[in-house]
Amino acid sequence: MLGSAGEVMTRRAIEFVEGLSADQRRAALHGFDEDRRRDWHYVPRRRPGLPLKAMDEAQRERAWALVGTALSETGYRKARGVVDLEAILGELTGEVDRRDRLNYAVALFGTPGSAEPWSWRVEGHHLSLTFTIVPDEGVAATPTFFGANPNQVPDGHRHAGLRILADEQDLAFALVQGLEAVQREAAVIADRSMGDILTGPGREQSLRTPAGLPLADMSEAQRDGMMHLLGAYVGNMEQAVAGRQWTRIREAGVERLHFAWAGSLAPGRPHYYRIHGPTLVIEYDNTQNGANHAHSVWHDPQDAFGDDLLRRHHEDAHRGPHPSASSG
């Protein structure tokens, strides 16, 4: 059994593929073992998959229905909001043609509905969501990237004040500003922001050692604040997918989580933070465009692109029937 999340994703993926023409399928479908499966990015570029602009309206609806199976209501609104921001950015910069809200692609790797692992990704500027479905094991949800440019839509635009990543910023400032002096000294790892996330494409494993203030050294209220901030990321996922991630975090030991900060301690100037533990690295940076252009990423270093699920899948295949399997 795939579990509810994997089963629903599989059904929606099959419906999406069945609604494509032969040429569209060639663009959308790729082998599971291809290098492209790990070739994610968050900049405007050509990418594997079938772009929304190459679909008709019914096909786009099925593509977004697939996205909706993986995300919570909050996460789904955020994903659609990132795409809407691309159009807003085009209006603000006078680059309407370049900033195409249909330039987001859906790519599938492997065959949904088979007994073998498969994955899918929806990706474009400032959005990259990767899900790996492993039969009998579950669904892996990282790497996950959400960006916002502008981070806050400026006055004068009809969507003035819109903030797609509001919780990611506000909860972090509440946490860092609520630290005692000694705690803040431990948490702040640099006077200046990092300028961008450090664990970008190809560098997912570049941060090995947690830095900053351990959750174990926080008060109960501060720990609650940290967990609420973490929830702004994990909570983007569908309930069962998020539940698996929370279990991994708790089993690894929440007291081993660290919170690190760099840059300004007040909004409006460049700032960066990181949450780092055995099963997660989360980074947020808001430096560009006068600190009005934010990037956020979430990795599970042990389960990037479903590596941990795939390892267990292969181990089970070599052991024979799973212990829970019926012998009748």
Q: Note the pLDDT tens digit of each residue in 134-180.
A: 998 999 999 999 999 999 999 999 999 999 999 999 999 999 999 99
- Model confidence band, residue 1 (pLDDT cutoffs 50, 70, 90): very low
- Model confidence band, residue 327 (pLDDT cutoffs 50, 70, 90): very low
174: tokens are 């509440």
Strands of 55-117, DSSP E: 105-109
Strands 138-140, 188-190: pairing is: unpaired
296: tokens are 């956020």
Q: Note the pLDDT tens digit of each residue in 203-212.
A: 999 999 999 9
Is residue 178 a contact partner of residue 221, using CB atoms and an 8 Å limit?
yes
The position carrying tokens 């941060």 is: 207
Residue 318: its pLDDT value, please?
A: 59
Look up the pTM and report it: 0.94
For the chain, give the longest Cα–Cα distance.
69
Average pLDDT score, the chain = 94
The span from the CA of 292 to the CA of 154, in Å, is 9
Strands 144-148, 127-134: pairing is: antiparallel
The position carrying tokens 């209006």 is: 91
List of residues 6+ apart from 207 with CB closer than 8 A? 198, 199, 274, 276, 281
Q: Is the pLDDT of residue 33 over 90?
A: yes
Q: Is the pLDDT of residue 323 over 60?
A: no
Q: Note the pLDDT tens digit of each residue in 105-127.
A: 999 999 999 999 999 999 999 99
Is residue 272 a contact partner of residue 193, using CB atoms and an 8 Å limit?
yes
Q: Note the pLDDT tens digit of each residue in 60-117.
A: 999 999 999 999 999 999 999 999 999 999 999 999 989 999 999 999 999 999 999 9
Q: Give the other-Cβ count within 10 Å of 319's Cβ.
A: 9
Per the document, the length of the chain is 328
